[in-house]
Amino acid sequence: MEKTRIKIMIADDHIIFRKGLKKILETVPHVNVIGEAENGLDLLSGVGRLQPDVIITDVSMPIMDGVMATKELSKRHSSPRIIALSVFGQESHIMEMLEAGAIGYVMKSAGRKEIVEAIESVYGHRPYFCTESSRQITDLIEKYQSGYRNHLVVFTEREKDIIQLICKGCTSKEVAGHLFISQRTVEGHRTRIMQKMRVKSIAGLVAYACEKGLYKGE
């Protein structure tokens, strides 16, 4: 019996990688790449129009990254089937993707066989995690699979820097100056940090950071 063709949408800002992945998937009889996107906003628009079965998205993209796009898709769809693409060194970003609603991830260095396995797995609503996981992310995934997902809070290095500066009493403008980023970017990070911590004020943020050892003072 012929397999149902799985409709795929790929999101990645690197056109050479995106086209290369599409070309690989075009050799798989039961997979059909129906759309591409170069950032999270394009992805959201395309999903609405094309209704793919599985989404393969890069974590880091301009305008809107994979984490924010995944969060938005999770709000709009009850069971989005999303695979995160990553490179080594993005452990915390991958956990953010899982927390946002992705149910699988593969390294960008993965071969055709593993990519197809990942697609088939998430298409069936089964989590798939890359076989090349580092020890750190393997440990985190084990916690995720064991039912601790809601208790696992992972901060990116940028978020940790911002937490440190906020705890030192810096304003958003001062944090922006220290890190050479815009004030708006700082405020966006701060909002996400507070959401992760489940606090509603700067005082709550500082208290959480001190309690969890994220800030120990000088």
pLDDT at 1: 45
Tell me how far apart the alpha carbons of residues 53 and 39 are, in angstroms, rounded to a whole number.
19
Q: Which residue shows structure tokens 């208790």?
A: 151
pTM of model > 0.75: no
For the chain, give the mean pLDDT: 84
Query: Is residue 134 over pLDDT 60?
Result: no
Closest CA to 37 of 21, 128, 25, 26: 21
HSE-up (13 A, CA, CB side) for residue 144: 23
pLDDT at 141: 63
Tell me how far apart the alpha carbons of residues 175 and 198 are, in angstroms, rounded to a whole number.
21
Tell me how far apart the alpha carbons of residues 171 and 184 are, in angstroms, rounded to a whole number.
12
- pLDDT-derived band at 148 (thresholds 50, 70, 90) equals very low
Backbone angles phi, psi at 9, to 5 degrees: -125, 135
DSSP-derived secondary structure for 104-124: EEEETT--HHHHHHHHHHHHT
HSE-up (13 A, CA, CB side) for residue 203: 0
